[in-house]
Structure 1
């Protein structure tokens, strides 16, 4: 079905980097926040400033994870432990929540300034699924998911949205745990083995594999095809449009 095994009949999509060109916005926001923090820490402790790498650090520690999980994971890699803080901590406060709020503030500013562009191949794929009447869900760690979908003009193409707000409400652990994908499959009324997961993040691919989904598609936007396969992708594509001709050739 559309480039996937015949038993697949439900489709679960990550947002940033799969549907919309916002992964690079998040990478910029993470670097902006962490570099400011790390520079202040270096001044405070008299140690060398080692900046956040927007490729290696982003892919390894934060991409695809809930904001606070990503913050904790990167800090742990640098041997830094901070108080958790509270959701009301001002952006930049020396807490996990304060750093997360600073990152989110930057993301929202960049989205306001730059807008949100969807990937044309993903939009074409979604429209083809809609024409076939196949169930579709967005599964994102972002609390801003619905706003991003609306800004990109694709909010009407999904039956189910499981985002950061839903995960918080239902106490679902974030990626690489499979719980948000499993919740989306349940909401669509399908078993995981009959659903496909589409992810560009290593943590997201690992979540799809851990959930026992029928197909895990790695979307290679940043030249990490090998790493996507190592984390559990059954198939790796550079763009979802690649899957449309495959189906047309099979049925043509």
Structure 2
């Protein structure tokens, strides 16, 4: 089915970096937040300021993880301990949740300033899946998943959404645990072996492999194909449209369930 093994019946997609180019916006927001925190900490302690690296730190410690887990993971890499705090903490709080809240404020401001557009190749692939009657779900650790899907105009193409709100309500562990992807497969009434996972994050492909899914597609938009394969991807592609067979008719601009 559309470039996937025959047993695959449903497709489970990460959001940022797979369907929408918000991964770069996320990375920039993390950098702005962490750099301000690290610079202030270095100034007070009299030590060197080593900035957050989008190239190295973002994929290794933050990308694909729930927000608080990303904060904890990066701080641990710098041997920094902070109180966890609570989700009610303000963005000024020097806690794990406070830093996460600050990052989200920066992200939302950047999204409002720049808008959101889905990757054209991803839209083509989602339309082809819809025309073929394949089950589709988005699986994201983002608390802003619904807003991003709506703003990008692709919410109608993804009938099932497992995001940060669902994970919190159902007590699902975040990636690299497979829980959120397993929940999406259950919603689509599919066994893991019948589902393909599409991920650009190392933690995400690890989740796909840990869950025993039938196929894990690593989406490589930043030149880390080898790392995606090493962490559990079966194949890597630079864009989802690559999976469309040459000469295969593409669905028209209107699709089942698409708003007029």
User: TM-score by structure 1 length?
Assistant: 0.97
Structure 1 residues not aligned, in runs of 5+: none
Q: Is the 8 A contact 1:2 1:247 kept in 2?
A: no
Match of 1:92 in 2: 92
Match of 1:231 in 2: 231
Deviant stretches of 4+, over 6 Å: none
Aligned partners of 2:231 and 2:170: how far apart in 1?
A: 26
- Could you say what secondary structure the match of 1:218 adopts? strand
Aligned partners of 2:12 and 2:6: how far apart in 1?
A: 16
Structure 1 position 56, deviation (Å)? 0.5
Match of 2:79 in 1: 79
Q: Is the 8 A contact 1:219 1:238 kept in 2?
A: yes
Match of 2:258 in 1: none
Q: Deviations along 1:136-183, whole A, 9 cap, x unmatched?
A: 000000010000000000000112100001001111110000000000
- Could you say what secondary structure the match of 2:248 adopts? helix
Aligned partners of 1:173 and 1:18: how far apart in 2?
A: 21
Match of 1:19 in 2: 19
Structure 1 position 247, deviation (Å)? 8.3
Distance 1:247 1:71, change over 3 A: farther
Match of 1:62 in 2: 62
Structure 1 position 75, deviation (Å)? 0.1
1:241 aligns with 2:241: yes
Please tell me the root mean square deviation across aligned C-alpha atoms, in Å.
1.1
Aligned partners of 2:245 and 2:55: how far apart in 1?
A: 31
Aligned partners of 1:232 and 1:206: how far apart in 2?
A: 5
How do 1:43-192 and structure 2 match up within 5 A? 43-192=43-192
Q: Is the 8 A contact 1:15 1:145 kept in 2?
A: yes
Structure 1 position 233, deviation (Å)? 0.4
Structure 1 position 246, deviation (Å)? 5.2
Which structure has greater helix proportion?
1
Structure 1 position 85, deviation (Å)? 1.1
Q: Is the 8 A contact 1:159 1:188 kept in 2?
A: no
Aligned partners of 2:94 and 2:205: how far apart in 1?
A: 31
1:201 aligns with 2:238: no
User: TM-score by structure 2 length?
Assistant: 0.94
